[in-house]
Amino acid sequence: MIKKTLLRSFQILSIVLLAFLAVSTFMPLKEDPGFLFLHRFYDSPLNLALWILLALILVLAVLFKGIRSTKQKILHLSLAVIIVLFIVDKSQNERFFISIHEGESIELGEHIEDHDKTIRLDRFEIDLHDDQETPSAYRSYLTLDSDTKAILEVNKPLAIGRYRLYQSAFEQNYYFSLKIGNEEFELTFGDSLETGFGKIVLTDYDDRIRHFRLMVNDKVQWLPLNTGVSLDDAYWSITPLEERYSSIIEVVEVRGIFWLLVAGIMYLVFMALDFWKPGKQKKET
């Protein structure tokens, strides 16, 4: 009786999950999760509840003799462990991005309480395939704590304690030298400077007229490329410096991931043993 109930529960739950998962892939992502959370089903409490229920059914099937074969018991328990560890990882482990400009450092301690580590991006490199168009590797040359050199690459994460660093993305920044009278400033698009002439923001460059657009004390001011102009009794000029990259690195806490991998391997191994052990009598769950 219990076996039949559990089997029926599994079937119903799986059909409900299948329906929600399938429909949600066609729904555009929106802030408002909408009807039955379909616009953000993956983050929804409904998705969480269905998976917890599924894990519970797997455990109950083992406990109440819904499954008799030891291999199948281990297989089902491994799956329940995978679901639980997945939920714990997604809800507990930290995950955030850091962006470091070439030649600059960041303190990991500003993001993580107990990890006081300095990460400096010495250089960012993009390797290209023979076609000279498609990238073959993105590589960050890092210095950790002023003395340890490390290379961070896609598919080659770096371990720092219980965290891993992943090469996630990059930005190409154009730096310019802004001279106002005798003062010189280095800036990139979006930078805001407090100067003796007020607040200056470099907002844009118009390639047609070859002029930079600046906001000086919230007023638009256009500056020609490489040619100075006199403004407010001072000589203003802007010239391009070298391009610099910023490396965007994802920092991920990896507590419990090892056990997730162990559960995954156990799940596959016991499935194979259950399916292909010579001469065994297969019992349907």
Partner 1 sequence: METIFLSIALVFYLVSATLRLLPVKKQYSDWMLLLAGLCHLGLLITRSVIAKHPPFTNIYETFLLLPFLIFLRIVFWPKRHVGTYGMIMTYISAAFLTVALILPAAIKIPKPLMPALNSIWMYIHVPSYFFAYMALMAAMVYAIMVLIKKDSDPQVEKRLDEELKIAFFFLNVGLITGAVWAYVSWGNYWSWDPKETWALINVLVLSFVFHLKMPTAKKKAWILIITVLTVAFTYWGVSYILSGLHSYT
Q: Site residues for partner 1, window 40-69 (CB under 8 A)? A: 42
Size of the site for partner 1 (CB under 8 A): 46
If one asks whether residue 96 binds partner 1 (CB under 8 A), the answer comes out as no
Which range, of 11-19, 107-115, 117-125, 178-186, touches partner 1 by CB under 8 A?
A: 11-19
Binding partner 1 (rule: CB under 8 A), the pick from 70, 209, 275, 277 is 275
Side chain identity at residue 198, one-letter code: G
- Cα distances from 4 to residues 10, 18, 61, 284, in angstroms, run 10, 21, 10, 12
Please tell me the distance from the alpha carbon of residue 274 to that of residue 267, in angstroms, as a whole number: 10
Q: E strands of the chain, at which residues? A: 95-101, 105-107, 118-128, 135-144, 148-153, 158-160, 163-180, 183-188, 192-195, 198-206, 211-216, 219-224, 229-231, 234-253
Give helix then strand counts, H and E, for the chain. Answer: 4, 14
Nearest CB to partner 1, comparing residues 8 and 149: 8
Q: Which stretch binds partner 1 (CB under 8 A): 117-125, 143-151, 153-161, 177-185?
A: 153-161
Closest alpha carbon to 122 in 136, 137, 142, 138:
142
Pick the closer one to partner 1 by CB: 9 or 143. 9
Round to whole Å and give the CA distance between 156 and 276: 35
Residue 11 vs 217, nearer CB to partner 1: 11
18 or 209: CB nearest partner 1: 18
Q: Which stretch binds partner 1 (CB under 8 A): 17-25, 111-119, 192-200, 207-215?
A: 17-25
State the Cα angle at 24 between 18 and 27, rounded to 5°: 155
Residues that bind partner 1 (CB under 8 A): 4, 7-8, 10-11, 14, 17-18, 21-22, 24-26, 42, 86, 90, 95, 129-131, 134-138, 153-155, 157, 164, 166, 168, 250, 252, 257, 260-261, 264, 267-268, 271-272, 275-276, 284-285
